[in-house]
Amino acid sequence: MERVETGIGGLDEMLNGGIPKGHIVSVLGAFGTGKTCLATQFINHGLKRGEKALFITLEEEEESIIENALSFGFELRAYTENGSLAIYKLQPSDARNSIEKIKNELPKAIENSGVQRLVIDSISLLTMMFDNEGEKRETLFSLCQKIKNAGATAIFTAEAKPDNPNVSRDGIVEYVSDGVIVLYYLEDPQQGGEIKTFLKVLKMRRTAHSRKIKPYELGKNGITVLSKAEVI
């Protein structure tokens, strides 16, 4: 089976080499857990290997994505300039217009892009724009189909439910995902409430993977999963 390396130290080991090619993987977490960072790192890794990528964002402007990536040491600008990276902005505040784009423009952009890697950051904001539950599901399923047809491997970031980090806020994204990675944090009362971050691979179709909880660091080089560390 072909695998797509995420480029995230430790995570590829947990996945026995990477995400199976063509998978849609959702990354669940509260804000600040590093979902955007993880997605950017995944995109950057592909670009460095000469792949093409599409970053669909509902949270930040193109310039802000490039600047944030740079703060983690990922230099995306050259790739947007040479056309191997496209950043596609959707405006959550303009739901009518955005829904129109999600149903019409976006599928075409995905089909014609020839990208190997695709990110939607975040799928929570995307699904939040729909009032109608049926329309929401239908659009999401059809978008996923387009991504599969395009042969891309995708990461969807999603807000976790406040009371359960293993479940997304919208409760839908898990059903369209081949894999689910959960990021969460705990406060350590013994160290002045210091925040400790953990990652687990909850689901990954068609591959064996680590089922252990592993700590990760979110630092100036992005995310590193301490896959050798044992958490009791």
Question: Which residues neighbour 168 within 8 Å (Cβ) at sequence distance 6 or greater?
Answer: 26, 28, 123, 124, 158, 159, 160, 161, 174
- Cα–Cα nearest to 76, from 59, 91, 63, 90: 63
Residue number, 96 or 220, with CB nearest to ligand ADP: 220
To the nearest whole angstrom, how small is the minimum distance from the Cβ of residue 232 to ligand ADP? 25
The verdict on 41 binding Mg ion (CB under 5 A) reads no
Report the C-alpha gap between 190 and 37 in whole angstroms. 28
Q: Give Cβ neighbours of residue 152 (< 8 Å, ≥ 6 apart).
A: 22, 54, 110, 113, 115, 116, 117, 118
Amino acid at site 153: T
Omega before residue 122 within 30° of 0, cis? yes
Residues 152-191 binding Mg ion (CB under 5 A) are: none
CB of 73 or CB of 114, closer to Mg ion? 73
Which range in 13-21, 93-101, 127-135, 214-222 contacts ligand ADP by CB under 6 A?
214-222
Shortest distance in whole angstroms from residue 81 CB to ligand ADP = 23
List the one residue from 10, 18, 22, 29 that touches ligand ADP (CB under 6 A): 29
Task: Kindly give, in sequence order, each residue whose CB lies less than 8 Å from that of residue 164, ignoring residues fewer than 6 positions away.
Answer: none
Nearest to 152 by CA among 121, 203, 114: 114
Q: Pick one of Mg ion, ligand ADP, none as the site partner of residue 140 (Cβ within 5 to 8 A by kind).
A: none
Task: State yes or no: residue 34 binds ligand ADP (CB under 6 A).
Answer: yes
Out of 32, 114, 151, 171, the only residue in the binding site for ligand ADP (CB under 6 A) is 32
Retrieve residue 50's tokens: 């000469």
Q: Residue 171's CB: how many other CB atoms inside 10 A?
A: 11
Instruction: Confirm or reject binding of residue 36 to Mg ion (CB under 5 A).
Output: yes
Total of chain residues touching Mg ion, rule CB under 5 A = 1
- Asked if residue 14 binds ligand ADP (CB under 6 A), the reply is no
Interface positions, 120-139, toward ligand ADP (CB under 6 A): none
Residue with smaller CB distance to Mg ion, 36 or 98: 36
Q: Is there binding between residue 228 and ligand ADP (CB under 6 A)?
A: no
Nearest approach, Cβ of 155 to Mg ion (angstroms)?
12
Query: What is the nearest approach in angstroms of ligand ADP to the Cβ of residue 163?
Result: 18
Distance CA 164, CA 131 (A): 24
| Residues within the interface to ligand ADP (CB under 6 A) | 29, 31-37, 71-72, 218-220
